[in-house]
Amino acid sequence: MTRRWRRASAVPAVLVAGLLAFQPGCVERAEEGAAERGLLQAVLDRQAEAVLTGDREAYLATVDPRADGYRDAQRTVFGNLARLPVDHWAYRVTATGDDAFPLPRDAGGQDAGDRGAGPRRIAVRAELRYRLEGHDPAPVRDVEYLTLTERKGRWYVSSDGDGASGGRRSTQQLWEQGEMTVVRGERSLVLGVGRPEFDLRALADDADRAVPGADAVWPRDWPRRVLVQAPATLERMAGLLDGPPSSYRGIAAVTTGEAGGRGGAPAGRIVVNPEAYWLLGEEGRRIVMTHEVTHVATREHTTESTPMWLSEGFADWAAYRGVDRSPDRIAPLLAGAVREGEVPRRLPTDEEFAFAGDADRLARSYESGWLLCRMVAQRWGEEKLVELYLAAGGSGGGMDPVVREVLGTGMDGLTTRWREYVRRELGAR
């Protein structure tokens, strides 16, 4: 394959030009395609401008007048966006036609060259970049799968994910899930669909109280503001996270966002599970929210090099710091195993933190990470725990040299001390 590519690349430019000169149809079709792509981009540009200026009529003017259901949904979407502090909203067409996704024929799909009796439809894949003022240090990136339809020489957006778009959906946003309520706290912005405003105000209070808790353990610069999303159902939560509902059953909240942004990636969103979060008592909600807010605080220094036992363990350590509970109550599953003589031989792998895995194994993994961070904070000090976190994120991989530099011992030595600590803290009393 490599040799074939080099041979093709070596064709002289003069010969290529000569070949194209004898194929005028290719040039014309390319020019026609570029012009049409420009028209599609212009539609999305007008829609983006309408979002930024709050012009409802201009926004709806870009929506297919005959796509009744989609048009009604977009009225709700625009109303939701108008409630948000949007200071950047832009689309960039990245592919059209079959290069974007195939349109099914039974949904009226036609390629750009089809001149049938029905309206022409073109699949469009576009990058959406948006930013919420005060919450996103840089625009959030998302991929949109859209169907645009031509009617009387004008192009309109007619779908953003259903049978008419070949089954391809964009990642669902909360503002696309129904009429949205927005509650502003002192340090938080809470977005909810299908939840009473009373619940959302309580959620804002939880987030406001959690920010100082995370700030107390993370002495680095971060926005100190969080965005919380409260969907109506577990299924809607899964739609926001682009995963199956079963992965999040029993998980009270999840923080999204790109790790290792170094100031250039969007801040994380905290998504609460309506089937689990509201069952917690006041202390339970405080612990969960402090854990998630700590992820937001540390996001800029969390990279692929940061092991999950450290990132999740640190967030749990911050959440339980100052809580008057014995270790065996905070880590009951691990305590039960230890009392049966099953002390873990190693720290959990990243794969053992997967939501879709065994629930008990997942819980033991979190408990193990928490105890490791608790041990480091007690033995070496809280500043050393923060230093370990920062060094791990910037290491480029491999924890042994990081641990040696920060704590003066290798991973084997750290693991041995951790196993002894687990046995001592969780053993039979």
Report the CATH number that the domain containing residue 133 is assigned in CATH.
3.10.450.50
The residues, any chain, with a CB within 8 Å of residue 168's CB and separated by 6 or more, are: 101, 145, 161
pLDDT value at position 12?
41
The model's confidence at residue 61, banded by pLDDT at 50, 70 and 90, is very high
Separation of alpha carbons 258 and 299, rounded Å: 8
Candidates 186, 221, 181; CA nearest to 198 is 181
For residue 10, being part of any structural domain is answered with no
Query: Which pLDDT band holds residue 229 (cuts at 50, 70, 90)?
Result: very high
pLDDT at site 288: 97
* Residue 323 falls inside a structural domain: yes
Residues 309 and 425 in one domain: yes
Are 183 and 161 contained in the same domain? no
Higher pLDDT, 239 or 314: 314
Closest CA to 315 of 303, 341, 297: 297
Contact 163, 172 (CB under 8 A): no
Last residue of a domain, one of 112, 143, 170: 170
Give yes or no: residues 34 and 166 share one domain.
yes
Q: Is residue 263's pLDDT more than 60?
A: no
Q: Would 5 be classed as within a structural domain?
A: no
Domain identity same for 150 and 211: no
Choose the final residue of a domain: 277, 302, 327: 302
Query: According to the model, what pLDDT value does residue 21 have?
Result: 42
Q: Distance (Å, rounded) from C-alpha 174 to C-alpha 269?
A: 11
Q: Quote the CA–CA distance of 426 and 272 in Å, as a whole number.
A: 30
Contact 132, 84 (CB under 8 A): yes
| 3-class state of residue 112 by DSSP | coil
Provide the token pair at 119. 């309206």
Query: Which of the two residues, 27 and 34, has the higher pLDDT score?
Result: 34
Of 294, 303, 259, which is closest to residue 393 (Cα–Cα)?
303
Q: Read off the pTM.
A: 0.84
User: CA dist 86 to 57, 129, 292, Å?
Assistant: 18, 11, 24
Q: Are 298 and 221 in contact (CB under 8 A)?
A: no
Is 2 within a domain?
no
Please tell me whether residues 289 and 178 are part of one structural domain: yes
Report how far residue 251's alpha carbon sits from residue 271's, in angstroms, rounded to the nearest whole number. Answer: 10
pLDDT at 213: 94
Range of the domain at 64: 30-170
Number of folded domains that form the chain: 3
What pLDDT sits at residue 11?
Answer: 37
Which H helix or E strand runs over 220?
none
- Look at residues 286, 293, 205 and name the one whose alpha carbon lies nearest to residue 255: 293
**Helical segments of 121-233, H only:** 197-217
Q: Are 222 and 259 in contact (CB under 8 A)?
A: no
Is 355 within the bounds of a domain?
yes
Return d(Cα 76, Cα 242) in angstroms, integer.
Answer: 22
Q: Report the range of poorest mean pLDDT among 160-174, 183-197, 271-285.
A: 160-174
Look at residue 159 and tell me if it is in a domain: yes
Banded pLDDT at 265 (limits 50, 70, 90):
very low
Q: What is the pLDDT of residue 13?
A: 41
Q: Residue 32 has what pLDDT?
A: 59
| Same domain assignment for residues 165 and 198 | no
Half-sphere exposure of 23 (CA within 13 A, CB side): 10
- DSSP states of 231-298 as a string? -SSHHHHHHHHTS-GGGTTT--EEE-S-TT-TTSSPPPEEEE-TTTGGGS-HHHHHHHHHHHHHHHHH
Would you list the DSSP string of 9-34?
HTS-HHHHHHHHHT-HHHHHHHHHHH
Tell me the pLDDT tens digit for each residue of 97-130.
988 888 876 444 444 444 455 789 999 999 999 9
Of 38-52, 193-207, 252-266, give the lowest mean pLDDT range.
Answer: 252-266
Q: Residues 178, 282: one domain?
A: yes
Does residue 16 fall inside a structural domain? no
How much is the average pLDDT of 407-412?
96
Is the pLDDT at 242 greater than 90? The verdict is no
Judge if 243 and 160 occupy the same domain: no
Dihedral sign for Cα atoms in the order 301, 277, 199, 240: positive
Give the phi and the psi of residue 126 in degrees, each rounded to 5.
Answer: -135, 150
Percent above pLDDT 90 for the chain: 68
**Of 170, 203, 232, at which residue does a domain stop?**
170
Is the predicted pLDDT of residue 374 greater than 90, yes or no? yes
Residues 6+ apart with CB under 8 A from 296: 214, 222, 223, 226, 255, 257, 267, 268, 270
Q: Report yes or no: 270 and 207 within 8 Å, Cβ to Cβ.
A: yes
Whether residues 129 and 195 share a domain: the answer is no
Is 426 in the same domain as 408? yes
Q: Is there a domain that residue 120 lies in?
A: yes
Same domain, 164 and 45: yes
Is residue 9's pLDDT more than 80? no
Give 149's DSSP letter: E
The pair of three-digit structure tokens given for residue 345, joined into one six-digit string: 């031989």
319 and 285 belong to one structural domain: no
We report the CATH number of the domain holding residue 249 as: 3.30.2010.30
Per-residue pLDDT band at 165 (split at 50, 70, 90): very low
Residue 375 burial (CB count, 10 A):
21
- Give the C-alpha separation, 78 to 117, whole Å: 32
